[in-house]
Amino acid sequence: MKAFKAWVRDYNFARCIYRVVCLLNWELKGRPIPSPELAKHRTVREYARKFSLKTMVETGTYYGDTVNATKNLFHSIATVEINEAFYRKAKRRFARFGHIKVLCGDSSQLMPQILGGVSKPCLFFLDAHYPSGTTIKALETPLMKELTDILDHPVKDHVILIDDARLCVGKGDWPDVSDLRGLVLKHRPDWVFENKHDIIRIHRRFASGGKGGKWAV
């Protein structure tokens, strides 16, 4: 058991170092697409702080690394994973954290249920899609359904981050970026829709000269 714990500790340390190296390499290369994990986590934290958000809803838990990287920032986190094996691992990983709820199922079907319990602006990190060979395929991505549900919600000041924007090219179940922009502007014609570093950022505008300032990431 001691040997196993030591292996886990060493593995996690090596993984941590690898992620830092990937981030530094990405910065040195001029931030090409796709962004490394740590850059995405940094973006989530930046938007949560900028908009003073204390609740996050994530679709596509996978290994739970985004939740782990932001768990001390939010008062409440709900994350959805369709793959039962990944769900069980994440459930165990976050079992001791009372403010983290890990759900198993299709995020397009669970989103209305999640939104039913939401009364304040949230940060939505939409990352539910089918990575070949590692998760269960329903739709390749439920993105349009998720986004429609969020935009139809009575709370109007949510912040939405859509990961892997490079995949939004209109093939298969994936919408084109222009489809997403059209949907957002139909519901929120005065909102920001920005595609930067492989993450689409959707949110209300700050008043000129106000709190917003320049985005760091």
For residue range 12-52, what is the model confidence (pLDDT) as tens digits? 556 677 777 777 777 788 888 888 889 999 999 999 999 99
Label residue 129 left, alpha or beta by phi (over 0 means left) and psi (-120 to 50 means alpha): beta
pTM reported for the whole predicted model = 0.84
DSSP three-state, residue 202: strand
pLDDT, tens digit (0-9, with 9 covering 90-100), for 73-129: 999 999 999 999 999 999 999 999 999 999 999 999 999 999 999 999 999 999 977
The model's confidence at residue 190, banded by pLDDT at 50, 70 and 90, is very high
The Cα 65–Cα 128 span in angstroms is 14
Q: What is the pLDDT of residue 209?
A: 44
Among the listed residues 129, 166, 169, the one whose alpha carbon sits nearest the alpha carbon of residue 146: 129
Beta bridge partners of 194: 201
The Cα 98–Cα 209 span in angstroms is 39
